[in-house]
Structure 1
């Protein structure tokens, strides 16, 4: 049999209102009374009905977070940063994985609306998606993570991925590589498109250099492995001498794919660089060069922007942008 607030009030010889204050506003109750009520709660094994409390208040203690790929260690670190910052405010983070699928993203956004979460942190599959716009217009605070809505009408946290793409390809050019391939996709994902733009800008000043764009359906190790095998099957004259991958999972896959056939050596025949600098990058058989972005700081900053929006409806819309960092390892040269 469940224990009610009335049971606690009777056991502590106080009113139901006093128990409610102890649960929600303990600073308004005398310390001795708080101790007596808490003792009754512990003795009876009372568990508060948080769902009912949320319905009455119209707000929960939860924050929704939807990422493109929860299996990607980068997004795991973003979630950890968000959880650490939210915990300091007594809030929890509910994680949803869209798997780069718009329909799954829409389902999570609708679920979070129904759950009356305090707000949503979102890495969108498509910044132009109507579902994102509807959420922004529904009154639920929204923060875009690792991107920015066109027009800038919603707070956002991002990394300068154009600069990151420039860093990666400039490094390959400095190593003497001239036939460069960019592997990523789909290009509807803002990060993939921006990193490609950065690659093109880096190549603009080197007329003898070429850029081959290989668009994939997803940013996974398996997709990278398929791309690596395809490159390894080419003749030496037809294949690139360097590959820039849109993330480290793809780069790990390319490394595996070239190793399977054994025809292409990294970095001798093919310089390889990824993006994110996940733990797998430095522990690969050939440690991967990468472009680092501060994943945990991104998650924490997103929660901070959400808290600002919750504290004041008229708060100024802020856009936080981090700068990427080039990390050089064995996969791009000696």
Structure 2
């Protein structure tokens, strides 16, 4: 393997500067020269040291994407959308999973800062405004994904989760349900608390309706199953007649346990609405009503917004004055879990 660019330049019979241009700006080099340099690279097995190059240049083509839970298909779709758009614009996405852990999130932020990434897309566990300001001072811009930002220093791309919570619970109220449970947590996660805020607003509009909050340790199928088992220990008269789950994974976990219990019929005894409309929602044993988010579009838009904020508006094709926030509207997809067939 070649030790440096000098070996490639020597074999190709060109200057080190020409090799650098072939690696970074091939459009500035004659095709015949590009071919000769690439042949030398292949023959020598040369792999350029991107870390060293970034330290010299002070920037990177890598965009960090830090999400809450890589197991959640919503975030998988979001990451795919971000990766596809970044590739079109000449960048790469480095995916990291906080697993809803503040400590793990902090470790990845340290790593991204050390690597001098081009910018950061993040769905944070809690309030990390101070840390994002520190990254900004180091030249690393941030865009929040799947949640809004109250700080004008950061961009954000998100769905209106308060509206989503209202839509979900309003649907349950419209089909005649009055004892509604909100299942989700941690409430420190902004998306969860916003969906709960919307749910409370919808219930407040209906006399006689109530909202019980069942906080979970995580937003997973297992936690949904635990919540369902807890409901089944209660007498039927003390159970809710509807559940709004903070995401589809929780809803699917609840659905599996409740529908398999032999004690509850979905939706006759308990109607159920999830959030995200992941692929599994329509394929569940009882097709799940859910609030749809455009996950891939959120990821792609976040990449575009980040690059405009790092001075690459011309590459993205957007205005040079960066938009601070992009908000999408949620949509109800009603299925059999709320009686729609």
User: Which interval holds the TM-score relative to the shorter structure?
Assistant: over 0.9
Is the CA contact 2:305–2:322 (under 8 Å) kept in the aligned structure 1? no
Is the CA contact 2:2–2:8 (under 8 Å) kept in the aligned structure 1? no
State the partner residue of 1:280: 280
The DSSP-based 3-state class of the residue aligned with 1:275 is strand
Farther off after superposition, 272-281 or 133-142: 133-142
Shift in Å, 1:59:
1.4
Shift in Å, 1:299:
0.3
Q: Counterparts in 2 of 1:1-334, with a 5 A limit?
A: 1-2=1-2, 4-127=4-127, 130-311=130-311, 315-334=321-340
Shift in Å, 1:23:
1.7
* TM-score between the two structures when normalised by the length of structure 2: 0.93
**Structure 2 vs 1, CA of residues 138 and 23 (structure 1 numbering), >3 Å: closer, same or farther?**
closer
Farther off after superposition, 90-99 or 147-156: 147-156
| Structure 1: distance between partners of 2:45 and 2:167 | 58
Is the CA contact 1:121–1:144 (under 8 Å) kept in the aligned structure 2? yes
1:10-36 Cα distance to aligned partner (Å, 9 max, x none): 222222222222222223322322222
Shift in Å, 1:247:
0.2
| Structure 2: distance between partners of 1:124 and 1:94 | 16
The DSSP-based 3-state class of the residue aligned with 1:311 is coil
Shift in Å, 1:317:
4.6
The DSSP-based 3-state class of the residue aligned with 1:111 is helix
* TM-score between the two structures when normalised by the length of structure 1: 0.95
Structure 2 gap segments, 5+ residues each: 314-319
1:246-295 Cα distance to aligned partner (Å, 9 max, x none): 00000001112213432111111000010000011111100100000000
Farther off after superposition, 127-136 or 50-59: 127-136
Is the CA contact 2:144–2:154 (under 8 Å) kept in the aligned structure 1? yes
**Structure 2 vs 1, CA of residues 17 and 134 (structure 1 numbering), >3 Å: closer, same or farther?**
closer
| Structure 2: distance between partners of 1:28 and 1:316 | 29
Farther off after superposition, 152-161 or 110-119: 152-161
State the partner residue of 2:316: none
Farther off after superposition, 259-268 or 297-306: 259-268
Is the CA contact 1:153–1:317 (under 8 Å) kept in the aligned structure 2? no
Residue correspondences, number? 334
Farther off after superposition, 111-120 or 130-139: 130-139
**Structure 2 vs 1, CA of residues 66 and 128 (structure 1 numbering), >3 Å: closer, same or farther?**
closer
**Structure 2 vs 1, CA of residues 135 and 51 (structure 1 numbering), >3 Å: closer, same or farther?**
closer
**Structure 2 vs 1, CA of residues 136 and 317 (structure 1 numbering), >3 Å: closer, same or farther?**
farther
The DSSP-based 3-state class of the residue aligned with 1:80 is helix
Is the CA contact 1:289–1:327 (under 8 Å) kept in the aligned structure 2? yes
Shift in Å, 1:40:
2.3
Shift in Å, 1:51:
2.2
| Structure 2: distance between partners of 1:275 and 1:2 | 52
1:45-104 Cα distance to aligned partner (Å, 9 max, x none): 322222221221121211111111111000001100100011012211111111111111
Farther off after superposition, 161-170 or 35-44: 35-44
Shift in Å, 1:127:
2.8
Shift in Å, 1:3:
5.2
| Structure 2: distance between partners of 1:208 and 1:152 | 41
Farther off after superposition, 160-169 or 311-320: 311-320
Shift in Å, 1:321:
0.2
Is the CA contact 1:3–1:44 (under 8 Å) kept in the aligned structure 2? no
Tell me how large the CA RMSD over aligned residues is. 1.7
